[in-house]
Structure 1
Amino acid sequence: MNHDSVYEVTSLEQMKALSNKLRVQILNQFDEEPRTSKQLADLLGLPASKVHYHVRELHRTGLLVLVETREKGGVIEKYYLPVAKQIRVALQESDAFDNEERTIRYEMGRAFVDEYLTAYQRSIQLVEQLREAGKPTEGIGPVTSMGLLYLTDEQQQEVRQELKDLLHTWEQRYSQQEKTDQTRAWRAFLSLFPELL
């Protein structure tokens, strides 16, 4: 298990596990330290029983790994970490999806976009709170660029590859960097999809 690596999700079972927004939120609660279901529930402000169920599903599908157990007051605490530092969904392009797979891919995409949007809005709110407190906010807010491109199939493949390469380059460059007072976690959500078919 290498927590500095990138893990690519390709199985339908793992995609199904990630089609739930709460499970995506759970995976986003980890930094370098393992956490219990109870700790995750506290971070998310949710009942422990609800979070425990979803942690169990993430563990069952191999997306969370049990790294330690501790006995505390007669209770066994289970500590988990994600299977890798970066979990990337590697959707294979095919026209041969059956209805179940198509539905799972749709739900998984929606869960990722919803979680990203929630985190994006939270980031805007945090920057506004810093601004209201008179603290500097230059360069720490979210950056968004959107555009409409008219591309041939070949150009679209080239843009797609450049986006993958860009993220991969920066992940490789800074994946070993330690979390310090000078570093901050930044999310990247790169997407390219046809507007009209």
Structure 2
Amino acid sequence: MYRKDYSARKYVIIAGFALVAVVLLVRLFYLQVYTNQYKLSARDIALRRVIEFPARGRIYDRHHNLLVYNDAVYDLMVIPRQVKRMDTLKFCRLLQIDKAFFIKMLAKAKHYSYYKPSVFLKQLSKKDKGPIEEVMYEFPGFYFQTRTLRRYPYPIAAQVLGSVGEVNQRDLKRDSYYRSGDYIGKSG
């Protein structure tokens, strides 16, 4: 009787399994060592960094007239990676912006960082925030951040009371602590 020799087939199967194992090990090494996409994704799911802006005190003159006070405003933040398919027309209608502005601001946020939050709209009032806050769950990747702004009812004594303003490009280059949209003391 004729007997087939299967030893060649055995080596081909062993080589196939070895090749698959090597490919999987190389891919695992690449994911663990070279790319940090999954590390950032896992960190963003577990943690969201929230910056608390300090409230500063009111300043009165000797006749108890209010010279400086704080006003609460809301910044609409976006994390581009978390933005999913959504009703952009409804979003734009609620915020009273046009679609071209929406596309421009989202592209600007993606250019800054695909994974980090950035300001989409600045200094919204409670009245502006109200309509969209009720349906915020429909717009993944967007959230509100509260901050206070210094208000000066009278245009006097800036050299004594001080004034604050948003950081510019020069400030950002000089000190890496600041982020775009932060407010710092300018004078006084």
Normalised by the length of structure 2, the TM-score is 0.21
Structure with higher RCO (Cα < 8 A, 6+ apart): 1
Greater C-alpha radius of gyration: 2
| Between structures 1 and 2, the one with greater strand share | 2
Normalised by the length of structure 1, the TM-score is 0.20
